[in-house]
Chains A and B, each alone.
Chain A
Amino acid sequence: MEKSGSADSLGSKRSSSRQPSVDSLTSTNTTRSDRSAHLRSAVSPDAASARTDLGAEVLKESSRIAEGELQLLPRESVQDTASDVTYICPFLGAIRGSLTVTNYRLFFKCLDKDPAFVLDLPVGVISRVEKIGAISAQGEVSFGLVCKDIRNLRFAHRYQEGSLKKSIFELVNKFAFPVSNALRMFAFEYGQPFPENGWKVYDPLAEYKRQGLPNESWRITKANEHYDVCETYPATLVVPANIPDEELKRVAAFRAKGRIPVLSWIHPETQATVTRCSQPMVGVNGKRSKEDEKHLQAIMDANAQSHKLFIFDARPPVNAAANKMKGGGFESEDAYQNAELVFLDIHNIHVMRESLRKLKEVVYPNIEESHWLSNLESTHWLEHIKLILAGALRIADKVESGKTSVVVHCSDGWDRTAQLSSLAMLMLDGFYRTLRGFQVLVEKEWLSFGHRFQLRIGHGDRNHTDADRSPVFLQFIDCVWQMTRQFPAAFEFNEFFLITILDHLYSCLFGTFLCNSEQQRLEEDLPKRTVSLWSYINSQHEEFTNPLYVDYANHVLYPVVSMRHLELWVGYYIRWNPRMRPQEPLHQHYRELLAKRAELQRKVEELQREVAGRAAVAPPEKAGSPAGSPVQTCV
């Protein structure tokens, strides 16, 4: 997939603006796979039109190089190459070739095939490396790689017993898990310069200003500047204007992990707000906190339109109640007058992890011919997607139609809460449906509010059984994709954008998704030491743009949250299957039509100019003759 594209800005030859640089092209891609060429042409229709201005030779050249050869990224270095490795492809059977491991990727190629077979993936997507079985009679050892992106890879290679040379898979093991091996993640090596610094995409003050904040009811506080109110929250918070900073600390004492209720979004007209927090520390004895009650009252009072406050607890009621045993719980309606508590029945990270595991079983490598739908149903994946979307829809509807402020929380307020607040904001505010707005949304609701990416993804961590891993962010992106399906013209970004985000969620090429909180990111100095994913994306945004996009000002999107409309995202989950060709992209056709229109417009203008010119020379009475009257012209 990396063989083409006009990623001029990425390469070393950036100075020559429209010149494609082959190595740079390779450099940016991480969705390396045996299906990679396929994938690119699938999800990035735009590449086609972007490519049209390239000379044909260049294209040919680039594809020749990219087809069989490893293109290293800056500071990527080859660790070892083993020839005589067999990739046991679940679709094509055994393929013999050579395997190269670098500090960033695993690269397998077989040149006997025409065109060359290439498997190219960042080692970051590997979740575990397993030796399968004993050494065979032929002296071969099998290795299996379980990947985070819904595939498993299996290799076999000759291994000399007692040989001093280590198996190449030990190297894979080493570089796939830098954290466990006390190595630096590749993101800290990769220093590709981009024209734009993606770390600057999100400026909290600018975003709050866009929302009209501060205003008379809400103030921006620096109380958490040193992360001592809440270490998992961002430095900049928006709280009710009449709650002083000292009180915030007392509220923090009553909320799990100190995650106090703070504003995420405010309705530009009604002033109804979406606020987020963690569960109250009610415990079995039903503890109360005056400050917390006052805080929620202040949130309600900030919205003059309604004398009610809705508290959406993302959990099933049973789970919420069970949390009381651990000191947590939920707001009682006695303590919080005028508040109505609603449970949204979304399950916890463990249930979600299990659901994805089942889904992988159903979709990879092959899909069973019969019982596809009931197998899919038994994974409950879409059901979970539905509950999350339904929860977000209820929140959005309360805010928009009910003009009521809402408080959203789950247990810790960094998983389900992030899903719900960000999806509700996506429904409510068209800004977040733009390419940049979406980046702001992810930076704000996920990264700055401390979704624990490191823990949920397990970057570079060998411990694949870690109970903290969960596909929470994947679910969010899946929900976004579901919305783009229902509203094909409401989002500025396309499917390729969403897939790219997911691929780099695991690749560890960019610093964006590293660490668990804003505080940690600053400690690690990520903005200085790593490149942001948004730097890459924004420097070739055409690839990620949906040409059908219309900016519907102030349109609130209400997706239909029903199994009748939810679909499995085949373009993501089943993309490795060679029997799947990505949907004929409408976008590509649209772009072709756009180009056609531009061409025609140019022609018409040209002709008009020509005609005008002729008219000027022509005798006056003819120039003034009525339109359409026959004039002697060339036959």
Chain B
Amino acid sequence: PLSKNPPEQHFQLSPAVRIAPTNPASFWLSAGEIVVTEVNFVRKCVGPNSSPDDLWGKLVCTNFKISFVTHVVYDLLPLQKFQYTNRLLGEHDIPLAGVEQVVTVNEAKGKQKVLGSNQKLKFSPTELMVYCKDFRMVRFRFDEAGPDSTKKVCLAIAHYSQPADAQLLFGFEYTGKCFHSDRANGLDPGSSLQTALFDCSSDWDREIKRTGASDWRVCSVNEGYAVSPSLPEFFVVPASLADQDLKQFSVSFAGKRIPMWCWNHSNGSALVRMASIRDPLQQRNLDRRICSAITKSHPKCSDVLKSDLDRSLPNIQEIQAAFVRLRQICVIEPFEENEERWLSSLESSKWLEYVRAFLKHSVEVVYMLEGQLCSVMLQEEEDRDLACVVSSLVQLMLDPHYRSLGGFQSLVQKEWVMAGHRFLDRCNHLKKNDGEECPLFLLFLDCVWQLMNQYPAAFEFTETYLTVLSDSMWIPVFSTFLFNCPRHCAERSRDFAQSESIKLGENKALRFPCVWYWGHQFSVKDQALFNSPLYVGKSVTCVHNGTVKTFRRTKKSHSATLRGPPSLPNGLTVELDTLTRRNSLALRLKPDPWQPREVPESPAERFSCEWLSRPVDLQGLLLPQLLPSHLQLWRLYFLRWVPEAQISRGGSVMAFHRLSLLADEIETLQNQLRQHRGGTPASTPASTPGTPDQESSRMYFKAGTPDDLPSTPDYLTSSFPFSPVGNLCRRNILGTPFSKFLSGAKIWVSNENLANETL
């Protein structure tokens, strides 16, 4: 049944007001949310043409979302349902911030129009297509609906999805309302959050201590954003630099961004990020002084190596273009049509090439830190984009702490949110400057996925987590993705408070919830989807008793051949190369099979190769394999809405399911053991309800439930926990593939083309 579980009974975090008259189970408003307009008797299409499976219901536009409320409880197959519930959004809901484009169609009149904000609509639409940033394409038909209200809804959707001002983003209403309600700022159950936000000096202090960065200190020169507008109030600098120096240096840097410490290797090497020096006269001098300060902070006084990101990595526009091309081939082009050219289309999108470039560059930085024992300075013009990706990846590879859920969130907080990645602009929430839009964060998540795909047991979280995190960018409630930098966040919050005449307490500002408070979106049960059974299962400490061995592969010669660099006597190579080839062999094969193709190997590659030849220690350094053949398309993210690509009762979830059951059993046993050890000689040993040990398991699938039957639940598909049903309606009724309009265009369907297009 489609009727959605309302957000759960013990609902505490996200105050939701349910609206009575409609189906109470399938529609609710969040705090601060109001209905703008609605239309009844709307059909949501599940396929390219009308289908008896289409859903009938009411289309509602609020100030937060487009909601589709079904009147009837449809008896759909379980596999057509989402397997989780978002507390802010129903299964058929689309957050307005996630709308990329709104297209209205009048079939009879042969008209189409891409609706912008504040536009007029001269025809009454029979159809509405909503293109979403998360790759969904949803289609509504209005054959039975009143033309006036239809028009109103379409215009409202277009208008509200393109807010003119940041304050019109729903998060302000939401946070304001929450502030007013009794649970003021109770939204932040700070205690339960294991994520360091790095908005106070103590978080940085702890990080310094954790990484053993002894000659580094937290500086507060930027308190009140007095020095740099885009740096956080607190950050870490070499201990040898005084505040006075910093202030003096800051003037010469782009954005007045004083170089900022990211992380320390246990060997003492530091990772630092730095914006470009704007003042050419100061360049050399400043550079020298910064470097010598960093060198001084290194216990061995090693050199500082520089890594110029702008020169070696794709820029914002290129990444955005790659993303648009990828979207094109994944969801817009008809499925069968590009099957034959799929691989080359994927290649020419360049998305995977860029993913690989970032990973590869990060490996090089890892090599400098780990292999050359040097501190590294990441240099980028503004230090707010590429450096975020590279520094986070480097830390993920080097530091297992960041591969835990809390650690990963802290990492994003530190290297993205606090470092001033311009989420507002990159997400293009205000749809003002398309040139600034770039899915850099998604690219980063894809890189993480590649690592996770290669080392599934090394991460505490799952790919579902990464996907859901990415989707959260389009829910404009979380401070994480709403602002361009901490100062921006602080100012906007203050202004909003003033305009709403909210009296601020000692906290001084309205506090927007950050995305890490997952309770805003998901129940505890659904949050279990984030936990990787391999990580959980293994983290259960096993009693060593002589019988259980550690399973780390101990074989020394993981690969006998890979030790060390090839050291060949020079004369020999030359001699062999000059051997004349026999034509019989060389005839058909263009590359001579006997001639070792010269692959120039950089020291970083050799380092990587050598590492790959040894057994992996999942709690140690982790390097990705970077042969082009090792990078894969992140299918869950990019293909989850494509019905044709859905493997029913298949996909990696099948393994996840099996592993979860096992991990759950292990946890249960562990709890039992602890109870026994705790000295409770219960005659009914297993369960003593109420003890802390009985905390709900961390696994989504639990052993001993119906899930544990030999037959696996039918709803498990490769799209799990999402469902493509009704979420991807390619319109091919025009007889012209949409792709025709789309080559190179930033928007999915360009205005002029469509306006002129007749049916």
Q: Are B681 and A600 in contact (CB-based, < 8 A)?
A: no
Q: Are B540 and A623 in contact (CB-based, < 8 A)?
A: no
Within 8 A of A (CB), among B570-592: 572-573, 575-576, 579-582, 584-585, 589-591
> In this complex, what residue of B is CB-closest to A131?
B582
Option from B566, B572, B579 in Cβ contact (under 8 Å) with A133:
B579
Counting chain B residues whose Cβ lies within 8 A of the other chain, the interface size class is 35 or more
1/0 contact string of A365-386 vs chain B (CB within 8 Å) = 1111111111011000011000
Q: Are A589 and B542 in contact (CB-based, < 8 A)?
A: no
Chain B interface (Cβ < 8 Å from any Cβ of A): 335, 339-344, 346-348, 352-353, 454-457, 533-534, 537-538, 540, 542-543, 545, 547-549, 551, 553, 555-564, 566-569, 572-573, 575-576, 579-582, 584-585, 589-591, 593-594, 596-597, 599, 605, 608-609, 612-613, 615-616, 625-630, 632-633, 635, 639, 642, 644-652, 654-655, 657-659, 662-663, 665-666, 669-670, 672-673, 676-677, 679-685, 688, 690-691, 710-712, 718
Option from B599, B684, B710 in Cβ contact (under 8 Å) with A627:
B684
Of the A-B pairs whose beta carbons lie under 8 Å apart in the complex, a sample of 25, sorted by A's number, is A34-B560, A35-B559, A36-B560, A52-B551, A63-B555, A92-B566, A93-B568, A93-B596, A115-B563, A142-B576, A367-B629, A552-B712, A557-B650, A564-B645, A574-B629, A578-B559, A578-B609, A581-B613, A586-B659, A589-B537, A596-B542, A596-B666, A604-B669, A627-B684, A630-B680
Option from B572, B644, B648 in Cβ contact (under 8 Å) with A94:
B572
Option from B543, B551, B566, B613 in Cβ contact (under 8 Å) with A592:
B551
Add 9 more A-B contacts to A118-B560, A137-B575, A374-B347 (CB < 8 A). Answer: A36-B560, A38-B559, A94-B572, A370-B353, A486-B718, A559-B650, A590-B659, A593-B533, A618-B681
Residues of the A chain whose Cβ atoms lie less than 8 Å from the Cβ of B568: 93-94
Q: Are A607 and B676 in contact (CB-based, < 8 A)?
A: yes
Q: Are A628 and B680 in contact (CB-based, < 8 A)?
A: yes
Name which of B455, B560, B649 has the most chain A CB atoms within 10 A of its CB: B560
Report the Cα distance A563→B337, complex, angstroms.
12
A171 on interface, CB distance cutoff 8 Å: no
- Whether A136 contacts B575 in the complex (CB less than 8 A), given A559-B650, A570-B629, A579-B612, comes out as yes
Q: Are B655 and A562 in contact (CB-based, < 8 A)?
A: no
Residues of the B chain whose Cβ atoms lie less than 8 Å from the Cβ of A118: 560
Report the Cα distance A89→B561, complex, angstroms.
10
Q: Are A593 and B666 in contact (CB-based, < 8 A)?
A: yes
Closest 9 CB pairs of A and B: A372-B628, A563-B342, A633-B679, A373-B347, A38-B559, A600-B669, A627-B682, A628-B688, A93-B568
Q: Are A567 and B650 in contact (CB-based, < 8 A)?
A: no
- Whether A154 contacts B650 in the complex (CB less than 8 A), given A564-B635, A593-B538, comes out as no
Q: Are A490 and B654 in contact (CB-based, < 8 A)?
A: yes
Q: Are A565 and B645 in contact (CB-based, < 8 A)?
A: yes
Report the Cα distance A387→B645, complex, angstroms.
16
Q: Are A372 and B629 in contact (CB-based, < 8 A)?
A: yes
Residues of the B chain whose Cβ atoms lie less than 8 Å from the Cβ of A603: 543, 669, 673
Residues of the A chain whose Cβ atoms lie less than 8 Å from the Cβ of B339: 562-563
Report the Cα distance A590→B658, complex, angstroms.
9
Q: Are A37 and B560 in contact (CB-based, < 8 A)?
A: yes
Residues of the A chain whose Cβ atoms lie less than 8 Å from the Cβ of B342: 377, 562-564
B119 to chain A, nearest CB (A): 37
A246 on interface, CB distance cutoff 8 Å: no
Q: Are A489 and B680 in contact (CB-based, < 8 A)?
A: no
- Interface of B, secondary structure class, is loop
B608 to chain A, nearest CB (A): 8
Option from B567, B581, B688 in Cβ contact (under 8 Å) with A132:
B581
Chain A interface (Cβ < 8 Å from any Cβ of B): 4, 34-38, 41, 48-49, 52, 63, 67, 86, 88-94, 113-118, 130-134, 136-138, 140, 142, 144, 146, 152, 154, 156, 361, 363-374, 376-377, 382-383, 486-490, 548, 550-553, 555, 557-560, 562-565, 567-568, 570, 574, 577-581, 583-584, 586, 588-597, 599-601, 603-604, 607-608, 611, 614-615, 618, 623-624, 627-628, 630-631, 633-634
Q: Are B628 and A369 in contact (CB-based, < 8 A)?
A: yes
Option from A38, A376, A584 in Cβ contact (under 8 Å) with B558:
A38
Option from A132, A146, A551, A579 in Cβ contact (under 8 Å) with B710:
A551
Residues of the A chain whose Cβ atoms lie less than 8 Å from the Cβ of B682: 611, 627-628
- Whether A488 contacts B655 in the complex (CB less than 8 A), given A115-B560, A604-B669, A608-B685, comes out as yes
> In this complex, what residue of B is CB-closest to A612?
B683
> In this complex, what residue of A is CB-closest to B610?
A578
B75 to chain A, nearest CB (A): 21
> In this complex, what residue of A is CB-closest to B711?
A552
B639 to chain A, nearest CB (A): 6
Name which of A90, A488, A568, A594 has the most chain B CB atoms within 10 A of its CB: A488
Residues of the B chain whose Cβ atoms lie less than 8 Å from the Cβ of A581: 612-613, 616, 625
Report the Cα distance A611→B456, complex, angstroms.
39
B663 to chain A, nearest CB (A): 6
Residues of the B chain whose Cβ atoms lie less than 8 Å from the Cβ of A584: 454-457, 616
Residues of the B chain whose Cβ atoms lie less than 8 Å from the Cβ of A553: 710-711
> In this complex, what residue of A is CB-closest to B653?
A488
> In this complex, what residue of A is CB-closest to B688?
A628
Q: Are B609 and A562 in contact (CB-based, < 8 A)?
A: no
Q: Are A579 and B609 in contact (CB-based, < 8 A)?
A: yes
Q: Are B597 and A67 in contact (CB-based, < 8 A)?
A: no
B673 to chain A, nearest CB (A): 6
Q: Are B681 and A552 in contact (CB-based, < 8 A)?
A: no
> In this complex, what residue of A is CB-closest to B716?
A489
> In this complex, what residue of A is CB-closest to B676?
A607
- Whether A49 contacts B551 in the complex (CB less than 8 A), given A594-B662, A604-B673, A611-B681, comes out as yes
Residues of the A chain whose Cβ atoms lie less than 8 Å from the Cβ of B680: 627-628, 630-631
Q: Are A550 and B658 in contact (CB-based, < 8 A)?
A: yes
B739 to chain A, nearest CB (A): 17
Report the Cα distance A67→B558, complex, angstroms.
11
